Amino acid sequence: MNKHYFNNKQYFLRCFFKIFSLFLLLFSHSTSIYTKNITVLGTGYVGLVLGTGLAYFGNNVTCVDVDQEKINALNAGKIPIFEPGLEQIIKKETTFEKLSFTTDITSALQQADVIFIAVGTPQNADGTANLSFIDSAAKMIGQNLNNYKIIITKSTVPIGTGKRIKNIIASYANPTINFDVVSNPEFLKEGDAVNDFLNPSRIVIGAETEEALNVMKEIYAPLLAKKIPLIATDLPTAETIKYAANSFLAIKISYINEIAQLCEKTNANIEKVAAGIGLDPRIGNQFLKPGPGFGGSCFPKDILALSKTAENVNVKLSILEAAIEANKRQKEFIQEKIYKALNYELHNKKIAILGLAFKANTDDVRDSAAHDIIKGLLDKKATIKAYDPIANENMKKELPSITYSKSVYEAATGADVLVILTEWPEFKNLNFSILKEKMNNTIIVDARNILNSKTIKQLGFEYYNIGNA
Instruction: Choose, by CB under 6 A, the member of 58, 296, 376, 467 that binds ligand UGA.
Output: 296
Which residue among 295, 376, 389, 467 contacts ligand UGA (CB under 6 A)? 295
Q: Could you confirm whether 298 is annotated as catalytic?
A: yes
Site for ligand UGA in 149-188 (CB under 6 A): 156, 186-188
Minimum Å gap between C-beta 299 and ligand UGA is 5
Query: What is the C-alpha to C-alpha distance for residues 386 and 450, in angstroms, rounded to an integer?
Result: 18
358 belongs to the binding site for ligand UGA (CB under 6 A)? yes
Judged by beta carbon, residue 83 or residue 93, the one nearer ligand UGA is 83
* Phi, psi at 440, each rounded to 5°: -75, -45
Nearer to ligand UGA among residue 289 and residue 371 (C-beta)? 289
Measured from the CB atom, the residue of 108 and 188 that comes closer to ligand UGA is 188
| Contact residues for 364 (Cβ-Cβ < 8 A; gap 6+) | 45, 81, 190, 296, 297, 357, 358, 391, 394
Q: Output the smallest distance, CB 330 to ligand UGA, in A.
A: 9
Min CB(202)–ligand UGA separation in Å:
11
| Residue 246 near ligand UGA by CB under 6 A | yes
Stretch that binds ligand UGA, among 130-138, 245-253, 332-340, 388-396 (CB under 6 A): 245-253
Q: Please say which residue, 244 or 459, places its beta carbon nearer to ligand UGA.
A: 244
Q: Is 39 in the site for ligand UGA (CB under 6 A)?
A: no
Candidate list 49, 71, 204, 253; residue touching ligand UGA; CB under 6 A: 253
Residue 319 φ/ψ region, left for φ over 0, alpha for ψ in the -120 to 50 degree band, beta for the rest? alpha
The distance of closest approach from Cβ of residue 33 to ligand UGA in the complex, given in angstroms and rounded to an integer, is 28
The residue from 15, 63, 263, 298 that is catalytic is 298
Does 291 bind ligand UGA (CB under 6 A)? Our answer is yes
Among 299, 333, 404, 464, binds ligand UGA (CB under 6 A): 299
Closest CB to ligand UGA among 359 and 428? Answer: 359
List 22, 141, 145, 288, residue binding ligand UGA (CB under 6 A)? 288
By CB under 6 A, residue 129 contacts ligand UGA? no
The residue ranges that bind ligand UGA (CB under 6 A) are 156, 186-190, 246, 249, 253, 287-289, 291, 294-296, 298-299, 358-359
